[in-house]
């Protein structure tokens, strides 16, 4: 089925009307989308501007490269600049600055950095070249099984010149941490469709425990409008539940084989989110059996220290405390051409989306 | 970054498939899916097929959206 059916304008109109009807029965509500791909689509479709005045859509920490610590990027960039290795990285991370340089700037300075679309490409590269290849394993649960599969494949064939610099992050602990913060008043969550394809719609139990509804949502226009509509419906009915509105891709229990693979290769650890700080058991590290493939062990990388550029409010933006436009740097000192913070540099960052598509009506 | 797109399986060798998206053919790892056949659609992210995507499920999903909000389907 092509995506046109999920973008049908007449159905979208009906959903917008239904949203207006439900919103009229509610006080001001703040809904958070926790996925950078949602943030981009909401911006591109102009959905924020279509919503009734009392329904606010807040962008959460759902852009994995935005929350990757600056210190991690600094350590990776420094290693790349040492000319010891070839660094293989996703395009998403390529332009994101650390405290000093981005991969893009390091490459311009002569570092050997290759942009790949899959960790498999890093594996293929290592097979063909005698060079040490380091893959930057970043991303949420959507991406983690793909890197886990390649860690396992490298270990199985005993490949000596590939290692992984791991900064994977987990979505449910971050949502839980947001809910525990009294400065963040979120009435409901649009839950990420493709993270949920792996972890399942049942993985958000703590949300219900905290009395907040969530709706697992796809990425087409009707998916997003239906997600908002369902959340308002739950709020009007005062029902606290997690609904799955994306059953064509997401099941209740996700993909068990992918979850087993993640579990086999990685284990949870406390981890820093750029702009937010440490969130307990929200990151992953390689298990002992795979320590030989850990780039931080092989090259003695120690990414520590959290720094935020002066004046940058990415931390508050990522938590939904302020919209991008309320940052003093937004659109002036900080633009997509000359980004200061991670939310502006990544195309999926809240600030980049707000700059490109406009934010609040 | 968590974008995943439906890709059509063109051929399968062991745990690896050639998949097609908009006329472009790439390789996808099928190791976390079961019973995938040539002609099926799979959601691919970072080279890994993370879920199957079938027509019947997509239609049912569309119905869910329409039914839920009592929208009369005018086509499809």
CB-CB under 8 Å, B27 with A226: no
Nearest-10 crossing angle of helices A221-236, A9-23: 20
Interchain proximity A1–B58, CB inside 8 Å: yes
Cβ-based neighbours of A315, under 8 Å, separated by 6 or more: A275, A276, A277, A308
Residue B55 parent element (H or E): helix B55-68
Q: Is the dihedral of CA A344, A45, B1, A129 positive or negative?
A: negative
What are the pLDDT digits (tens) for B49-70?
Answer: 999 998 888 999 998 888 767 6
CA angle A359, A343, A319 (to 5 degrees): 80
The single residue listed with the structure tokens 């969550």 is A189
A104-134 tens-digit pLDDT: 999 999 999 999 999 999 999 999 999 999 9
With cut-offs at 50, 70 and 90, classify the pLDDT of residue A4. Answer: confident
Strand, coil or helix: A243: strand
Torsion angles phi and psi, residue A284, rounded to 5: -125, 145
Query: Is B34 an interface residue toward A (CB < 8 Å)?
Result: yes
The burial class, CB within 10 Å (0-12 / 13-18 / 19+), for A224 is buried
Q: Which residues contact A323 (CB under 8 A, 6 or more apart)?
A: A58, A317, A354, A359, A360
* Tokens coding A49: 């501007």
pLDDT tens digits along B6-35? 999 999 999 999 999 888 999 999 999 999
Task: List all residues 6 or more positions away from B1 whose beta carbon is below 8 Å from its beta carbon.
Answer: A36, A37, A63, A64, A65, A90, A92, A139, A140, A142, A143, A346, A348
**Contact (CB<8Å) A37/B2:** yes
ipTM attached to this prediction: 0.90
Q: What is the DSSP string of A121-158?
A: HHHHHHHH-SSEEEEEEEE-TTTHHHHHHHHHHHHHTT
User: Among B52, B2, B65, which Cα is nearest to A244's?
Assistant: B65
Say if CB A57 and CB A42 are below 8 A apart: yes
End-to-end CA distance of chain B: give it in Å, rounded: 31
Q: Could you tell me what percentage of chain A is helix, strand and coil, using 3-state DSSP and rounding each to the nearest 5?
A: 45, 20, 35
Query: Residue A60 phi/psi, 5° resolution?
Result: -100, -165
A226–B57 CB contact, under 8 Å: no
Chain A CB contacts of B66 below 8 Å: 11
Does B42 have pLDDT greater than 90?
yes
> How far lies A271's CA from each of A21, A268, A277, A283, A285, in Å?
42, 9, 8, 5, 10
Please say if the pLDDT value at position B71 is more than 60: no
Report residue A123 CA to chain centroid gap.
Answer: 24
Q: What is the largest CA-CA distance in chain A?
A: 65
Mutate to test the interface with B, among A4, A5, A251 (most CBs of B within 10 A): A5
- CB–CB of A194/B2 below 8 Å? yes
Hey, which residues 320-359 in chain A have their CB within 8 Å of chain B?
346, 348
**pTM for this one?**
0.93
Interface of A with B in 237-266 (CB under 8 A): 245-250, 255, 257-258, 261
Tokens at A58, concatenated? 């807040």
Helix residue ranges, H only, chain A: 9-23, 36-45, 47-50, 64-67, 70-81, 91-94, 103-108, 119-128, 144-156, 171-180, 193-199, 205-209, 221-236, 256-265, 295-298, 314-318, 342-345, 350-357
Residue A210 tokens read as: 């905290």
| Pick from B46, B50, B74: CB nearest A255 | B50
B48:A145 CB<8 A: yes
- Name which of B37, B72, B76 is nearest B59 in CA terms: B76
Domains of chain B: 5-68 (2.30.30.140)
Chain A residues close to B60, C-beta within 8 Å = 247-248
CB contact under 8 A, B3 and A37: yes
| Residue B76: band (very low, low, confident or very high) from pLDDT cuts 50, 70, 90 | very low
Chain A residues in contact with B3 (beta carbon < 8 A): 37, 194, 219
Per-residue pLDDT tens over the stretch A176-220: 998 888 888 899 999 999 999 999 999 998 899 999 999 999 999
Q: For A10-30, what is the mean pLDDT?
A: 94
Residues A58, A32 contacting (CB under 8 angstroms): yes
Per-residue pLDDT of A296-345, as tens digits, reads 999 999 887 656 778 899 888 888 889 999 999 999 999 988 888 888 88
Å from A240 to nearest chain B CA? 18
Query: A133, A126, A131: which is closest to A157 by C-alpha?
Result: A126
Domains, chain A, ordered by start: 65-169+254-298 (3.40.50.11740)
């Amino acid at each position: 089925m092509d995506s046109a059916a999920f973008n049908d304008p007449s159905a979208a109109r009906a959903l917008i009307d239904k949203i207006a009807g439900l919103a009229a029965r509610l006080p001001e509500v703040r809904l958070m989308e926790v996925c950078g791909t949602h943030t981009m689509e909401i911006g591109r479709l102009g959905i924020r501007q279509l919503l009734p005045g009392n329904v606010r859509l807040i962008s959460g920490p759902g852009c994995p490269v935005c929350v990757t610590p600056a210190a991690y990027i600094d350590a990776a960039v420094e290693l790349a600049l040492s000319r010891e290795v070839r660094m293989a990285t996703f395009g998403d991370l390529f332009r994101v600055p650390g405290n000093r340089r981005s991969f893009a700037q390091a490459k311009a300075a002569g570092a050997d950095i290759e942009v790949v679309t899959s960790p498999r490409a890093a594996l293929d590269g290592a097979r063909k070249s005698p060079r040490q290849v380091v893959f930057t394993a970043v991303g949420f649960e959507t991406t983690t099984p793909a890197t886990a599969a390649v860690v396992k494949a490298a270990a199985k064939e005993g490949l000596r010149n590939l290692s992984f610099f791991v900064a994977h992050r987990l979505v449910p602990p971050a949502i839980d941490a947001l809910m525990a913060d009294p400065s963040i008043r979120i009435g409901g969550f649009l839950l990420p469709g493709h993270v949920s394809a792996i972890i399942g719609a049942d993985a958000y139990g703590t949300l219900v425990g905290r009395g907040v509804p969530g709706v697992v949502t796809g990425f087409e226009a009707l998916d997003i409008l239906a997600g908002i509509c369902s959340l308002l419906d739950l709020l009007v009915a005062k029902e606290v539940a997690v609904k799955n509105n994306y059953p064509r891709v997401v099941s209740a229990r996700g993909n068990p084989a992918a979850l087993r693979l993640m579990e086999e290769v990685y284990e949870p650890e406390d981890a820093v989110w750029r702009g937010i700080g440490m969130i307990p058991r929200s990151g992953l590290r390689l298990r002992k059996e795979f320590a030989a493939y850990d780039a931080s062990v092989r090259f003695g990388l120690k990414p520590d220290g959290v720094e935020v550029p002066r004046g940058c409010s990415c931390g508050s933006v990522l938590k939904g405390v302020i919209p991008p436009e309320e940052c003093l740097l937004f659109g002036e000192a900080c633009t997509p051409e000359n980004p200061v913070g991670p939310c502006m540099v990544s195309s999926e960052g809240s600030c980049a989306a707000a700059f490109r598509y406009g934010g609040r009506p | 970054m968590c974008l995943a797109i439906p890709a059509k399986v063109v051929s399968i060798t062991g745990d690896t498939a050639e998949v097609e998206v908009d006329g472009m053919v790439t390789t996808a790892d099928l190791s976390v899916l079961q019973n995938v056949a040539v002609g099926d659609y799979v959601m691919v992210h970072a080279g890994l097929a993370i879920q199957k995507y079938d027509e019947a499920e997509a239609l049912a999903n569309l119905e869910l959206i329409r039914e839920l909000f009592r929208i009369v389907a005018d086509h499809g």
